[in-house]
Amino acid sequence: MNSIPRLHLISDSRLCPLDRFAALSRVVACAGVSAVHLREKMLPAGELLAAAVVLREALGGSATLFINDRIDLALLSDAGGVQLGEGSLPVSGARTLLPPGVLIGRSVHDVAGARRATEDGADFVMAGHVYETASKLGQTARGTAFIESIASVVSIPVVAIGGITPERVGDVMRAGAYGVAVQSGILAAPDPETAARSYTEAINDAG
């Protein structure tokens, strides 16, 4: 079993085109990013597979590759994890398709969803959105109280997502988060490597 990563980077081709994402991921993995998620819903599966393979090779063993939603792509790219949402295959079904040790994260938006994810055997939940974020305009920020409410009822790690800056990591982790997931905080930073290092230090300080 892989250990569960604490600092997740999630792709967003609007912020960083996929052809640059692999190289950037490699750099930030050396600065403490421990999971890199390929999450591009609009691409044809063949292109996603090619991107996943490139990303997997770029990362080597430096960070765990997570594929969003698609178990088939995760199998083909030898990913170390999958991230499932409300619309994905059920965690239990996904588990039977994946080799032992592949991590399954489940994205949740309420306490009931987090409970179900735990019962279904997810390795961790990703919960948000904690703060207001440009990538999810119009979605209500739920605040650190939301993380607290989830962390208090589930036994698996809670990874917080949504507008988390290095300065906010301490608050989020004190609320019970095990780790954080980031898009623009790293992808849109003037220096992604420095940003990744700031997150890593903030997580280490809070832990």
Partner 1 sequence: MASGTGFRGDRLRKALRVYVLTDRSLARGRSEREIVEAAIAGGATAIQLRWKTGSLHEAMAIGRELGDLCRASGVMFVVNDRVDLAIALGADAVHLGDEDLPIPAARRIVGDAMVIGYSPATLDDALQGERLGADYLGVGPIYGTATKSDAGEPVGTQRITEVCRSITIPVVGIGGINAENAGAVIEAGAAGVAVISSVVAADDVREATMRLAKAVQGAIGVE
> Which positions from 92 through 151 interact with partner 1, judged by CB under 8 A?
93-94, 96-97
Within 39-78, which residues bind partner 1 (CB under 8 A)? 44-46, 49, 70-73, 75-76
Least Å from the CB of residue 50 to partner 1 = 9
* Residue 75 CB, nearest approach to partner 1 (Å): 5
Give the span between the Cα atoms of 204 and 207, in whole angstroms: 5
CB of 80 to partner 1, least distance (A): 17
Q: Which is nearer to partner 1, 36 or 52 (CB)?
A: 52
Task: Report how far residue 201's alpha carbon sits from residue 109's, in angstroms, rounded to the nearest whole number.
Answer: 27
Q: What helix, strand, coil percent values describe the chain, rounded to 5?
A: 45, 15, 40
Which x/- pattern, by CB under 8 A, does the window 84-103 give for partner 1?
--xxxxx--xx-xx------
Among residues 29 and 126, whose Cβ is nearest to partner 1? 126
CB 28 within 8 A of CB 200: no
Burial letters for 151-190: b for 16+ Cβ neighbours within 10 Å, e otherwise?
Answer: beebebbbbbbbbbbbebbebbbebbbbbbbbbbbbbbbe
Neighbours of 196 (CB within 10 A): 26
Of 87 and 100, which CB lies nearer to partner 1 in the complex structure?
87
**In the complex, least distance from residue 97 CB atom to partner 1, rounded to whole angstroms:** 6
Do 55 and 84 touch, CB atoms closer than 8 A?
no
Tell me how far, at minimum, the Cβ of 117 lies from partner 1, in Å.
12
Stretch 157-176 residues interacting with partner 1 (CB under 8 A): none
200 within 8 A of 7, measured Cβ to Cβ = yes
Number of residues that bind partner 1 (CB under 8 A): 19
Per CB under 8 A, residues contacting partner 1 are 44-46, 49, 70-73, 75-76, 86-90, 93-94, 96-97
